[in-house]
């Protein structure tokens, strides 16, 4: 089963704007999955624990955010938080190490050092966690492949492999870079003694790549929020989304300037959800609701696609 995690979800259904409360209630009713940052989302984590949240909760350590602010995460405090809330958390990220200094390309030595410390942090956390298999080791774009191989071959004292890993460093990268990186990872996994390891893709919800790589077990994104705020809705036709907000009416990429055939196709999709182009243009909350439903549908479609491919492969194997 493929899991989509909504990064940045909110849970308050009693205070705030009417539109935000409506969205929060809708997401809770749909039992969506959520990713929250230990560093950035402490208030939301508290509200999540106090809410009627029924989805899967993924806690990210927030290591990248801490790095951008020149701060460090107390690993032992993070471990205590995870252990104290173990029954509420489905999976969580390790505290990984980001190489170099912000706004500067890291050196080869800095990348090597960060990758080594990331692995050591993972092993340190496993020893102290109530549920060590919930902790995802993170392998990043640009790190030496030997660290991925090391993680795949590692076994605990019971002879068990790591069941779940995460891929990081893909945010802001081109589709080509992400494609090549995932391809390399998938190929390395297939040749390892841990070929069935689950994979989470941090900040990567490219429809094309999620369909291409059935090894990707889960992914998260803030695209549903950022697109809506910037006047965009997500689209099965293009990863870059459809420009539809009133703030970009003057742009040639705006839906109002597209060929009629394209507008009709988008309009038909919106009408299936009881919405119109006009409502998308002037309402951020409508764009948010649309993007939430798009992500829910995308996860369901990926599941169906993978099940169909698995069934077809089994049928072919019989003959």
3-class state of residue 219 by DSSP: strand
CB-side exposure of 158: number of CA atoms within 13 Å?
A: 5
pLDDT tens digits for range 114-137: 999 999 999 999 999 999 999 999
| Cβ burial, residue 202 (10 Å; 0-12/13-18/19+) | buried
**Three-state DSSP class for residue 2:** coil
| 137 and 94 Cβ atoms separated by less than 8 Å | yes
- Give the CATH number of the domain where residue 157 resides: 3.20.20.105
The number of domains in the chain is 1
Separation of CA 130 from chain center: 24
Q: Euclidean distance between the first and final Cα of the chain, in Å?
A: 27
Contact (CB, 8 A) for 16 and 285? no
- Dump pLDDT digits (tens) for 50-79: 999 999 999 999 998 888 888 889 999 999
* Dihedral of alpha carbons 157, 158, 159, 160, sign: negative
pLDDT tens, residue by residue, 190-239: 999 999 999 999 999 999 999 999 999 999 999 999 999 999 999 887 77
Full DSSP string of 252-264:
TTSGGGS-HHHHH
Bridge partner residues of 5 (DSSP): 33, 220
Is 218 strand, coil or helix?
strand
- At 318 the pLDDT is 56
At 25, is the secondary structure helix, strand, or coil?
Answer: helix
Bridge partners of residue 219, in order along the sequence: 4, 201
Domain limits at 288? 3-317
Query: Could you tell me which of 236, 298, 206, 306 has the C-alpha nearest to residue 4?
Result: 298
In the three-class reduction of DSSP (H, G, I as helix; E, B as strand; rest coil), residue 181 is classed as: helix
What pTM was estimated for this model as a whole? 0.93
pLDDT band at 313 (very low <50, low <70, confident <90, very high): low
- Helices (H) and strands (E) in the chain — how many of each? 12, 10
**For 3-55, how does the pLDDT look when each residue is reduced to its tens digit (9 = 90+)?**
999 999 999 999 888 999 999 999 999 999 999 999 999 999 999 999 999 99
Burial track 102-112 (b if 16+ CB lie within 10 A, e otherwise): eeeeeeeebbb
């Amino acid at each position: 089963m493929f899991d989509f995690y909504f990064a940045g979800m909110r849970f308050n259904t009693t205070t705030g704007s009417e539109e935000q409360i409506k969205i929060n209630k809708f997401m809770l009713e749909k039992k969506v999955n959520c990713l929250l940052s230990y560093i950035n989302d402490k208030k939301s984590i508290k509200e999540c624990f106090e809410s009627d949240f029924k989805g899967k909760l993924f806690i990210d350590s927030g290591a990248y955010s801490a790095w951008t602010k020149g701060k460090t995460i107390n690993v032992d405090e993070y471990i205590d938080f995870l252990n104290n809330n173990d029954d509420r958390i489905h999976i969580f990220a390790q505290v990984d190490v980001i190489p170099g200094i912000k706004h500067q390309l890291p050196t080869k030595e800095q990348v090597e050092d960060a990758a080594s410390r990331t692995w050591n942090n993972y092993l340190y956390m496993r020893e102290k966690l109530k549920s060590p298999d919930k902790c995802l080791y993170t392998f990043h774009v640009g790190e030496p492949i030997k660290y991925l191989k090391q993680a795949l071959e590692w076994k605990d004292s019971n002879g068990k492999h790591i069941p779940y890993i995460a891929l990081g460093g893909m945010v802001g990268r081109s589709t080509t870079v992400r494609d090549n990186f995932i391809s390399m990872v998938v190929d390395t996994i297939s040749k390892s003694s841990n070929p069935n390891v689950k994979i989470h893709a941090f900040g990567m919800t490219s429809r094309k790549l999620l369909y291409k790589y059935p090894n990707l077990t889960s992914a998260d994104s803030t695209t549903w929020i950022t697109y809506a705020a910037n006047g965009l809705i997500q689209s099965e036709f293009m990863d870059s989304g459809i420009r539809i907000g009133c703030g970009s009416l003057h742009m040639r990429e705006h839906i109002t300037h597209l060929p009629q055939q394209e507008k009709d196709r988008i309009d038909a999709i919106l009408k299936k959800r009881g919405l119109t182009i006009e409502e998308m243009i002037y309402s951020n909350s409508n764009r948010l609701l649309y993007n939430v439903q798009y992500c829910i549908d995308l996860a369901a479609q990926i599941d169906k696609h993978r099940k169909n491919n698995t069934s077809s492969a089994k049928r072919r194997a019989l003959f």
